[in-house]
Copies of this chain bind each other. A is one copy, B any other.
């Protein structure tokens, strides 16, 4: 069966030379694994293709691993442009094996929107943003120009985790693991998505599509409860309705049937896209998880590639 994976990260020299982890890196097995994955760098595309072939994955939707929001705006913008050029080049060379998401420096919203438009016209399929922008969230009006442009272009924004923002990280720090994939990434990104919903963004841009990894950062678990305490005064619809209408979720980092079944029940199969989170997770394990999921073959095709083709216009 055709398999497209939509949250597959890479690095380039431009993206890593300036990069410093925002908080001390926690020693885990995965960090060790990361350091040894040759295919992560776009300089070793053959190694990545082999990893994909080994797992039976036909196509990666590429996105940058390190974030760029933390740099001074002009540096972030120039890294983003250089990274995007590299991705466009790779996609041109291997059009059946790769597609790409833009890197944009959201700290300069106008310029980020312009870069998004520029590279979408060159074939990229949307953009990935790494959650908060130096502690600010994208529901702040100054960032809406990015969403306006995405809606106009008909491309989605993939809202990806990073460590919790400075205004919320304090109680996570005692156990550094809690700042990352174990808990903080989801807490940060789930809250971010809830802020987008509460802001009225989706009343302004009803066609806007947001992608969340990790099966929706727990919002599907809470989907009933986010409506249960009454309406938000300024919104036209119930909070859960925006989630159902404007959001898609991917399986990145959540290869576990009970949670996938919840999302299937809560949102329907058309909202679930396959993703691995290469090179942080095992592609083989991820593929096997969906192959053994108790769904119809029609639904399995939707998860493995049809939904990705529709949402990203592949």
Please name all residues of chain B whose beta carbon is closer than 8 Å to the beta carbon of A132 when the two chains form the complex.
171
Chain B binder among A63-71, A115-123, A216-224: A216-224
Contact of A171 among B191, B214, B259 (CB under 8 A): B191
Q: What is the CB-to-nearest-CB distance from A167 to chain B, in angstroms, rounded to a whole number?
A: 3
Check: A41 CB closer than 8 A to any chain B CB: no
Q: Mark A218-248, 1 if CB is under 8 A from B, else 0.
A: 1011111110111010000001000000000
A182 located at the interface, meaning its Cβ lies under 8 Å from any Cβ of chain B in the complex: yes
Tell me, in angstroms, the Cα distance from A106 to B30 when the chains sit together.
38
Which residue in chain B gives the minimum CB-CB distance to A259?
B221
B-facing residues in A126-169 (Cβ within 8 Å): 132, 135, 137, 139, 164-165, 167-169
| Per-residue contact bits, chain A 39-52, to B (CB 8 Å; 1 contact, 0 not) | 00000000000000
Partner of A186 from B172, B222, B258 at Cβ < 8 Å:
B222
Closest to A234 in B: B175
- A interface residues, how many (CB within 8 angstroms): 58
- Chain B residues whose CB sits within 8 angstroms of the CB of A230 once the complex forms: 28-30
B229 and A181 within 8 A (CB): yes
In the assembled complex, A308 has its CB within 8 A of some CB on chain B: no
| CB proximity of A178 to chain B, nearest CB, Å | 6
For A186, what are the chain B residues with a Cβ–Cβ distance below 8 Å?
Answer: 222, 225
Interface pairs A-B: 8 shortest CB-CB = A167-B170, A224-B256, A28-B230, A258-B265, A168-B168, A175-B198, A221-B221, A262-B262
A-B contact pairs, 11 of them (CB 8 A): A30-B228, A171-B195, A172-B191, A174-B195, A177-B232, A178-B194, A180-B229, A182-B194, A183-B191, A224-B258, A228-B253
The interface of chain A, by Cβ under 8 A from chain B, is 28-30, 132, 135, 137, 139, 164-165, 167-172, 174-175, 177-178, 180-183, 186-187, 190-191, 194-195, 198-199, 214-215, 218, 220-226, 228-230, 232, 239, 253-259, 261-262, 265-266, 281
